[in-house]
Amino acid sequence: MRYTTSKWISNIAIIEVDPKIFDSPELAELLQRARLRFPLPVSIITPDWEAEFGIRSAGDYCPPEILSSAQLLWHELDLLAESDELPF
């Protein structure tokens, strides 16, 4: 799992997860944890070559052009572990 932040209307956290996690019931809990951990809107994405723009997303809306930008700087993230530290 990895994350980045980007600017659209305001700052947004973008978290990329494995398609198995995205398609599981675990996604709702993961989105809830992400919203507690990041003081920003959160969009969770996963690659999907059959979807428009090659990604699927859940959570807060962010345009696909931003979500798939090659200019995003990605960092490793473990939201499944308990932590009070902000990831940035």
Handedness of CA 41, 45, 82, 33 (dihedral sign): positive
Within a domain: residue 69? yes
Within a domain: residue 67? yes
Q: pTM of the prediction?
A: 0.83
Distance CA(12)–CA(23), nearest Å, equals 22
Q: How many domains is the chain partitioned into structurally?
A: 1
Within a domain: residue 83? no
Q: What is the pLDDT of residues 8-56, one digit of tens each?
A: 888 999 999 999 999 999 999 999 999 988 889 999 999 888 877 788 9
Within a domain: residue 86? no
